[in-house]
Chains A and B, each alone.
Chain A
Amino acid sequence: MSSFVRIPIIKLYDNLIVSIQVALSDRLAQQLKDDITDQIQNTKAKGLIIDVSGVDLIDSYLSRALRDIGLISRMMGVRTVICGLDPLIAMTLVEMDMSLQGVRTALSLERAVELLDEERKHQSLALFRKPGER
């Protein structure tokens, strides 16, 4: 029916940035999952940032969708960071005993970019270490 509305995925240097600013319906969440995997493949991005500062609430379905996106991306070699989680939503998630396991979170978009940068630096340094060295 309504595959017209889509959430834009922006590539910025090595990262894909997705900012969710609308009430996310299940259909939209599924569409986003498909679009992100396509984009990862097409752009060869190394990191994925999902900004959820515009999301009005996160229920079990949506938290699962976010976690799935994180896991799928990781299988494709891309690290996911979720940023901008509203404190009230975070409280609700904790009370419901749900977690966004498998995905890292950052306070802001800037912190998310830094986190992914640091990690990549760390990884490339690791390539030069001698075997057994930590």
Chain B
Amino acid sequence: MTVNDGQVLAVLRDYISEITSRSMLAAATRWSKVEISRLGPGDGRHLLTELQKGIQLYVKSPMQRRECLDRLALLLEDAAEAPASSRGPKKIVIREESDIVSARGAARALSGELGFTPATQIKIATAVSELARNIVQYAGSGEITLIPFHNGRREGIEITSSDQGPGISDTAEIFEGRNRSRTGLGIGLRGTRNLMDEFDLKTAPGQGVEVRIRKYVQ
């Protein structure tokens, strides 16, 4: 099956203006060096990657964005390989320091896909960085899970962090700012709570720590 410019434009026009659609498609074909009428293997995906950049910018609602990308992927016959596949829950095992960097990278990428503003993306990535760091520093190993959620009208990201470390004996102390650990456990957890919409901490001495935080897309 061959595709032509008109078909791609028809999809784009459902979400953005005629003129933006045209220039976005022109730019995407230029950058991906792909000719729409003669798609080779993998070309559809290249084009889609370039189109996605524009769609991220111009299509405001995450729902619409996803729908638009799905339709384009179908059209370009590469549905199986389409990007935007990382929307499922993502588990990151935290064992060493370099895992902290990958965890916050993943958090940032996912929150970007979910439609969070750049300012909020940084907040989410910072919160994940704090949680991951606590795992490495106090428990040695653990895991962080990033879960996009959608219930009723609200959409957002839920992040859980769990470890089997020594746990925290006095959580009140931490949140009142009396804890002045050498590494700054209190500051990190307090900061994380300030950055998020929901914050839930479960811990007991010897029982590890489990933190669940949420941020809603505005």
A-B contact pairs, 15 of them (CB 8 A): A59-B130, A59-B133, A60-B188, A60-B191, A61-B133, A61-B183, A64-B184, A88-B122, A91-B119, A92-B119, A96-B187, A97-B187, A97-B190, A98-B187, A98-B191
Expressed in whole angstroms, the Cα–Cα distance for A92 and B122 within the complex equals 7
Chain B 50-89, CB within 8 Å of chain A: the 1/0 string? 0000000000000000000000000000000000000000
CB contact between A60 and one of B98, B101, B118, B130 (< 8 Å): that residue: B130
> A27 in the interface, Cβ–Cβ < 8 Å?
yes
Contacts of B188 in A (CB 8 A): 59-61
Q: Which residues between 81 and 102 of chain A lie within 8 Å of chain B, taking CB atoms?
A: 88-89, 91-92, 95-98
> A25 in the interface, Cβ–Cβ < 8 Å?
yes
Q: Quick one: which of B105, B126, B187, B195 has the most chain A CB within 10 A?
A: B126
B191 near A88 with CB under 8 A, answer: no
B97 near A27 with CB under 8 A, answer: yes
> B100 in the interface, Cβ–Cβ < 8 Å?
yes
A88 near B194 with CB under 8 A, answer: no
> A58 in the interface, Cβ–Cβ < 8 Å?
yes
> B123 in the interface, Cβ–Cβ < 8 Å?
yes
CB contact between B129 and one of A27, A57, A64, A88 (< 8 Å): that residue: A57
Q: Known contacts A92-B123, A96-B191: does B97 contact A57 (CB below 8 Å)?
A: no
| Sample of 18 more A-B contacts, CB < 8 Å, known A57-B126, A60-B184, A92-B122 | A23-B101, A56-B108, A57-B125, A58-B126, A59-B126, A59-B129, A59-B130, A60-B130, A60-B191, A61-B129, A89-B122, A92-B195, A95-B123, A96-B191, A96-B192, A97-B190, A98-B187, A98-B191
Residues of B at the A interface (CB closer than 8 Å) are 97-98, 100-101, 104-105, 108, 118-119, 122-123, 125-126, 129-130, 133, 183-184, 187-188, 190-192, 194-195
B194 near A96 with CB under 8 A, answer: yes
Contacts of A64 in B (CB 8 A): 184, 187
Expressed in whole angstroms, the Cα–Cα distance for A64 and B183 within the complex equals 9
Expressed in whole angstroms, the Cα–Cα distance for A35 and B196 within the complex equals 36
A8 CB to closest chain B CB (Å) equals 20
Expressed in whole angstroms, the Cα–Cα distance for A25 and B129 within the complex equals 11
Expressed in whole angstroms, the Cα–Cα distance for A88 and B120 within the complex equals 9
Expressed in whole angstroms, the Cα–Cα distance for A92 and B119 within the complex equals 8
Contacts of A89 in B (CB 8 A): 122
Expressed in whole angstroms, the Cα–Cα distance for A64 and B104 within the complex equals 18
Contacts of B97 in A (CB 8 A): 25-27
